[in-house]
Copies of this chain bind each other. A is one copy, B any other.
Amino acid sequence: MNNFIYDIPTRVYFGENQLGNLGPELSRFGKRVLLCYGGGSIKKTGLYDKVVAEIKNAGLELFELSGIDPNPRVSSVNAGADICKKEHIDVLLAVGGGSVIDCTKYIGAAAYYDGDAWDILLQKVPVEKCLPVITVLTLSATGSEMDAAGVISNPETKDKIGLIFPPMQPKVSFLDPTNTYTVSPYQTACGAADILSHIIEVYFNVNQDLQMLDGVMEVLMKTVIKYAPLAMKEPDNYEARANLMWASSWAINGFVNGGKRQAWSCHPMEHELSAFYDITHGLGLAILTPRWLAYTLNETTVSKFYQFGVNVFGIDAALPPMEVAHKSIELLSEFLFKTLGLKSTLTEIGIDDANFTVMAKKAVTGGTMHAFQPLAAEDIEKIFRMCQVK
């Protein structure tokens, strides 16, 4: 059993109408606030006005960076860092989903660096400091609201890099399930696939540490499987949105890892897909995950699939393990592609095999040789091919 350090200091205000706490929380860190957001959906929903009112009421000075893209770009990080330096920003407020929060984290780090922020992603410079980040979450998916990770894309080099730097951990996050009522069924489905993938990447692990955490992961997966379809059908179902939201944070804030050390598999592969084709992260993960599972299933790994099938999908424990394993992959596929209604192949979303070889080579640099099943570039290319229409 591996040792680990548990350290999740983010304070979370969970529930409706908690924004009254935003002003005091921002004020702990200073007077000058940079509000970071995306394409303006928060203006349509009225959340922008609410947040700005709280900032003004608290007597704080407001600066803005808008237009942060899904798969956020290093150009946004540089633009935000420039504002921080020029305007002597004290605290960052990210209002949005994982892309906005990820970008804001790197803005906070890049504010202390004078060169191109991409140097941080290339690990040419360490991240020892970060401006304090506070978040108001609008999408249940990446868990960025409660972890120290972030993923940034560089369209020029077709690179998408995700790293973890403890100083980037949000100080405070506001999780109000009603802020996700306007998330479309499709984006809700993609978010659910993302949450599931975060858990599956850890659950399928060679380190059988702390069994209680396997139980917690099974609960989180069952939570997503139960509530994502409900949230798609009834967008303003508070219970469904609340359970999905809290599950998204706990899927990836580090708690379920507890010493289970190993590289992830589907995320490095998906990062190549979205770096090359700018697809939605959760959709890419949905397409990849069942194929990756099928590719890694063998006599050695079958026991984990058996546990997954019995405990998450309720498959009869008396069946032969290999049968349970195959059935668990089928049921996961059925959930992703029928219940959630996501497209099931790369072909359907316009991705052919033109870049499979180069993407596979880049994906292995993410450490996939140290994953649940070691994956070389050839393996990854095969998995990409499994995702095509036959």
- A interface residue numbers (CB < 8 A to B): 1-9, 11-18, 209-213, 215-216, 218-220, 222-223, 226, 238-239, 242-243, 246-247, 250, 258-259
Contact = CB atoms under 8 A, between A and B. Distances in A.
Among A12, A16, A212, A213, the one with the most B-chain Cβ atoms within 10 Å of its Cβ is A212
A215 B242 CA distance: 15
Contacts of A246: 210, 212-213, 258
A213 B259 CA distance: 22
B215 A259 contact: no
Given A6-B11, A7-B12, A9-B9, 4 more contacts: A3-B13, A3-B14, A6-B14, A212-B250
Contacts of A12: 5-7
A3 B13 CA distance: 8
Contact of A3 (B4, B16, B215): B16
A390 to B, nearest CB: 37
Contacts of A11: 5-7, 9
Contacts of A220: 212
A261 to B, nearest CB: 12
A216 B258 CA distance: 15
B212 A219 contact: yes
Specify how many copies of this chain sit in the oligomer. 2
A3 B213 CA distance: 26
A147 B372 CA distance: 35
B1 A238 contact: yes
A218 B311 CA distance: 13
A211 B226 CA distance: 10
27 contacts: A1-B238, A3-B13, A3-B15, A3-B17, A3-B18, A4-B14, A5-B12, A5-B14, A6-B14, A7-B12, A8-B8, A9-B9, A9-B11, A14-B259, A15-B259, A211-B223, A211-B226, A212-B220, A212-B223, A212-B243, A212-B246, A212-B247, A215-B219, A215-B223, A216-B219, A218-B219, A219-B219
Nearest to A14: B4
A133 to B, nearest CB: 16
Contacts of A213: 246
A1 B220 CA distance: 19
Contacts of A226: 211
Contacts of A222: 215
Contacts of A247: 212
A239 B14 contact: no
A242 B4 CA distance: 12
